[in-house]
Amino acid sequence: MPSATSRTQYPPFPSSTLPTAPLLSLSLHALETNSGEESTRFFTAAKELGFFYLSTSGSQLGEELIAEAEQLHELEKKFFLLDNGEKGEFAREKVDAFFGYRFGEIEGGKGGRNESYNMRKDDFLSNCSPLPQPRIIKDHWTLLQSYTRHCRQVIDLLITHLEVHLQLPVGTLASLHRVGERSGDHVRFNQAGVQPFSEEAARAGEHTDFGTLTLLVNWLGGLQIRHPVSDEWVYVEPIPGHVIVNLGDALVKFTAGLLRSNVHRVVPPPYPQDGLVRNSLVYFSRPEDAVVLRRLKGGLIDQQPRNPELEEEMTSQEWIQRRSLGDLKGVYTHSRGLESRMAMVPGRV
Ligand SMILES: O=C(O)CCC(=O)C(=O)O
Ligand SMILES: [Fe+2]
């Protein structure tokens, strides 16, 4: 099995020369054992930056998740090496409005691609009949099932901590995220081909995630978040043994803006990591399909200001479909205009 530190095979991230994002590092083990202090730090991160590191050290769940992420990294590299024609058989246009394979040609490139592959949780957990999958994915089904379960265990734990801090009755958020119910949760493989930095492509890739919580594992730099205070783009350094977690727009909606879903984007890896193909592995959690996205009642949410403008209400399923068509703005992207419909940039829906 590949070791948990496969990142050491790459040139280092240049943390001393690049501005990096001030992510808090939280211990999964401390959250599992209900440390009040760690839980409070989590709530701070959820309100202020919307991004944090989750250290998996000392947590059996976390260490299993990282070991599986390393195996899935190998799998995604093999998946993207499949013939383009074969990947095309599993393109979104063919299999589903949202799930499946997607790509964009790298501008000015020699046939290089930015690619993604979305696989739904409900297929892995047998909540529905599965979409067609290439042989290589079917052959690793057990691994993908296990990774899905582990990601959901982490997410369900984080959700229970949020309920406490939001002073909501136990189960308020959990009841909107039952793992056995249909939802837009999915595992995503991302691959960005080698390409120069382009301001236009970087802009087109700015986005917020539109679900609940996202668990991200990446191996090379390139992820940037817009610093909430300075408004500057700063890098998130990949740290071995740490999962990058961020909050999505659904949590902003549920809490009437108390929690933060931060704008981010992916640019080519910085020197000396440039010139390498970049992969990431993402687990996106979403509210159940039938859940209407609107502010919840109770606890601290009741103290949040009311938005005088009536916001369009829709179910989680409709929200996903419309966001993926580029038809809706992300919560924090309002002032920057509509996210690009055309560009397929890693990090975009
Ligand atoms: O590749 C990364 O590091 C981040 C990907 C991302 O933001 C996304 O897929 O939504
Ligand atoms: Fe994202």
- Cα 283 to ligand 2 centroid, rounded to whole Å: 10
- Cα 169 to ligand 1 centroid, rounded to whole Å: 32
DSSP structure class, residue 122: H
Residue 256 located in a structural domain = yes
pLDDT of residue 5: 59
CATH number at residue 240: 2.60.120.330
- Cα 36 to ligand 1 centroid, rounded to whole Å: 30
- Cα 189 to ligand 1 centroid, rounded to whole Å: 9
Residue 281 located in a structural domain = yes
Q: Is the CB of 267 under 6 A from ligand 1?
A: no
Residue 331 located in a structural domain = yes
Nearest CA to ligand 1 atom 5: 347
As given in the structure block, the two tokens for residue 200 are 């236009």
Q: Is the CB of 264 under 6 A from ligand 1?
A: yes
- Cα 132 to ligand 2 centroid, rounded to whole Å: 25
Would you give the distance in Å from CA 35 to the centre of its chain?
A: 25
Q: Is the CB of 190 under 6 A from ligand 1?
A: yes
Residue 194 located in a structural domain = yes
Domain count along the chain: 1
Nearest CA to ligand 1 atom 9: 347
As given in the structure block, the two tokens for residue 245 are 């977690």
Residue 345 located in a structural domain = no
Residue 2 located in a structural domain = no
Query: In degrees to the nearest 10, what's the CA dihedral of 317, 323, 324, 325?
Result: 110
- Cα 309 to ligand 2 centroid, rounded to whole Å: 27
Residue 347 located in a structural domain = no
Instruction: Reduce the DSSP state of residue 253 to 3 states and report it.
Output: helix
Q: What residues pack around ion ligand 2 (CB closer than 5 A)?
A: 209, 347
Radius of gyration of the chain, Cα coordinates, nearest whole angstrom: 19
Instruction: Show pLDDT as tens, one digit a residue, over the chain (349 residues).
Output: 444 557 778 999 999 999 999 999 999 999 999 999 999 999 999 999 999 999 999 999 999 999 999 999 999 999 999 999 999 999 999 999 889 999 999 987 677 899 999 999 999 999 999 999 999 999 999 999 999 999 999 999 999 999 999 999 999 999 999 999 999 999 999 999 999 999 999 999 999 998 999 999 999 999 999 999 999 999 999 999 999 999 999 999 999 999 999 999 999 999 999 999 999 999 999 999 999 999 999 999 999 998 777 778 899 999 888 877 766 655 543 333 333 333 344 334 4
Ligand 1 atom nearest 238 alpha carbon: 3
- Cα 296 to ligand 1 centroid, rounded to whole Å: 28
191 in Cβ contact with 277 (< 8 Å):
yes
Ligand 1 atom nearest 190 alpha carbon: 1
- Cα 278 to ligand 2 centroid, rounded to whole Å: 15
Prediction pTM value: 0.94
Cross-strand pairs, 278 = 192
Q: Is the CB of 265 under 6 A from ligand 1?
A: no
- Domain membership of residue 268 as a residue range: 7-339
Q: Is the CB of 256 under 6 A from ligand 1?
A: no
Ligand 1 atom nearest 280 alpha carbon: 1
Residue 346 located in a structural domain = no
Nearest CA to ligand 1 atom 4: 347
Q: Where are the alpha helices (DSSP H) in 128-215?
A: 135-138, 141-165, 199-204
Q: Measured between alpha carbons, how far is 202 from 200 in angstroms, rounded to an integer?
A: 5
Ligand 1 atom nearest 209 alpha carbon: 10
Residue 116: closest CA among 100, 132, 94: 100
**Shortest-distance ligand to the CA of residue 217:** 1
Q: Is the CB of 218 under 6 A from ligand 1?
A: yes
- Cα 57 to ligand 1 centroid, rounded to whole Å: 23
Ligand 1 atom nearest 222 alpha carbon: 3
